[in-house]
Amino acid sequence: MVKIHHINCGTLQRDPDSLKVLCHCLLLEDIKGLALVDTGIGVHDILFPLERIGQEIIEQAGFNFNLNDTAISALHQLGFTEDEVKHCLVSHLDPDHIGGLADFPGAAVHVSAIEMNSFLEDNPRYCPEQLKHKPFLKLYHDFDEYWFGFAAKRAELDFESEIYLVALPGHTLGHCGIAIQQEDRWLLYAGDAYYLRDELFTENHPVDELAALMAMDNDLRIESLKKLRVIAQNFGEKIELFGFHDPSELKNE
């Protein structure tokens, strides 16, 4: 069974009076190697922030730059090296989710083909410099399998546990969650399908306005969120659900 480490790979806060959120990523430890689920803010982002991200996005999202809050730092603290990371599973290609990819140039990047196509269409939300290292891309085209009623595709990792990319479109067109089997239970990492956990239990949450503003397709975002609410409210004993930003969801190792 894959061992799961919950790690923080960045902090976003526009100013001292605004909400501080995290970049909650996962490190998957298998006998055949390591995989990251999203990579957060990377070392290259911290060293070259204007070139890789740009001042407008840095200010808009509230990027904080701290070398201790990176995937590489978390790996080293757990006793691993970057060369042991064989795969990176990406929920979507927003800059706070993929900045660390360049820190693991030998890792295959698993991502929805729809998301990759959006990235290549010069949408200003994306930062092309973050993929300039030209990683090997494993693109997932047809989500023709199902996971608890969601369109899904099994990730090609050959790890001991089953792992799926789960379609959760809306925030971006190819946005995916990552489902990881843990014996008779599952963990579902929902990425940015919601920002704060309270959204799973509260309709018309105050953060909804921001979520709608950031969504590439708000109708699809709302549909995905409704499906996640069903999971949270009816499958809590079977599925552990968490997202990328809410600090209350990050487990301490």
CA distances from 64 to 49, 55, 166 (A): 10, 12, 29
Residue 59 sits at the vertex; the CA angle it makes with 58 and 62, to the nearest 5 degrees, is 75
Residue 234 in tokens: 């009816």
Domain ranges of the chain: 3-244
CB neighbourhood size of 1 (10 A): 12
Domain 3-244 carries which CATH code?
A: 3.60.15.10
Per-residue pLDDT of the chain (253 residues; tens, 9 = 90+): 999 999 999 999 998 888 899 999 999 999 999 999 999 999 999 999 999 999 999 999 999 999 999 999 999 999 999 999 999 999 999 999 999 999 999 999 999 999 999 999 989 999 999 999 999 999 999 999 999 999 999 999 999 999 999 999 999 999 999 999 999 999 999 999 999 999 999 999 999 999 999 999 999 999 999 999 999 999 989 999 999 999 999 976 5
Nearest-angstrom CA–CA distance, 146 and 154: 9
Distance between CA atoms of 92 and 199, rounded to whole angstroms? Answer: 20
